[in-house]
Homo-oligomer: A and B are copies of this chain.
Amino acid sequence: MTDIPARSSFDPTCLVNGVPASQVSAHDRGLAYGDGLFETMRVSAGRAPLDEYHFSRLEFGASCLHLPLNMPEIRAEISGVAAQLNEGVIKLIVTRGEGKRGYASVEVPRVTRIVQTSSLPIYPPDRAERGVVLYPCETRLAIQPRLAGVKHLNRLEQILARGEWQDDAFGEGLVCDMRGRPIECTMSNLFLRGENGWVTPQISDCGVRGVMRDYLVSQLTSAGETVDQRSVTMQELMDSSEMFCCNSVFGVWPIVGLKDRKWPVGPFTRVAQAMAQQVFM
């Protein structure tokens, strides 16, 4: 048997409710109100290794938005598309479907399901190796416990924050909440090393409960590390001995600078980075 080349990750798929399509209804509530959820899943060797974490967050979001999802259908589709894609990224969007004008929803909405694929984003490789400098975003995250943790389609705060810098010298941006507490980066979560181990800001008032964050909390804890999920102050962040940001696409990037402060890429960060890398081996 000859080697069959993997399907090119530059041949993107877009499925709308399971059917190849490049468009959605102009009356979809996802467009009208951001009334839906999304997941961005890295695919490696024909599968999405963190799929259970993604599906768990998706179900959490669906319960917050009262969105009836057909999870077996979603799981089957993701697994089929992942097998075809082989390597790359799947973006899944679910919305409350078509609606008339007005915020009220029909009792049993017909969910729109969109599955898009893309190749792995190409980041400068030294971000993982040498680490990133954070841009200190002025945009604050509003306190909204009813939507905290959910990866929903209302992302204007992230867009405002990400729009604050263009200089590639900054690999990510630090975002605080309205009370000035560090919460996350624009597209990743934050871990900082304190005297008693790792601390990651709690995601109870705002922020996205990142899949890689949840995975690392679980893995680090299993490895005997302490990982506190709690409120963090800016001073505590500046006083930390190591820091990294993480998401389910790039894994772990060490953080080596913020304003005047510099950090080394520390040994504990390398352990977390290796854990993240192993997921996609």
Residue in B closest to A158 when the chains form the complex, CB atoms: B103
Cβ contacts A5-27/B at 8 Å (1 or 0 each): 00000000010100001111111
**Interface residues contributed by chain A, number (CB under 8 Å):** 57
CB-defined contacts of A154 to chain B, threshold 8 Å: 33-34, 154-156
Q: Of B21, B31, B89, B142, which one neighbours A30 at CB under 8 angstroms?
A: B31
Indicate if the CB atoms of B14 and A163 lie closer than 8 Å.
Answer: no
In chain A between 138 and 179, which residues have their CB closer than 8 angstroms to a CB of chain B?
139-140, 142-144, 146-147, 152-163, 178
Among B118, B142, B163, point to the contact of A100 (Cβ < 8 A): B118
With the chains together, A147 CA to B103 CA distance in Å? 19
Within 8 Å of chain B (Cβ to Cβ): is A91?
yes
On chain B, the residues within 8 Å of A144 by CB distance are 140, 142, 157, 178
The verdict on A104 contacting chain B, using a C-beta distance below 8 Å, is yes
* A65 contact set on B, CB distance < 8 A: 156, 159-160
Kindly list chain B residues whose C-beta atoms are within 8 Å of the C-beta of A104.
Answer: 162-163
User: Could you say which of B24, B40, B105, B114 contacts A101, with CB atoms under 8 Å apart?
Assistant: B40
A35 touches B156 (CB 8 A): yes
Q: List 5 A-B contacts (CB under 8 A).
A: A14-B27, A26-B114, A33-B156, A100-B118, A147-B160
Query: Nearest 3 A-B pairs (CB), nearest first?
Result: A34-B34, A142-B142, A154-B154
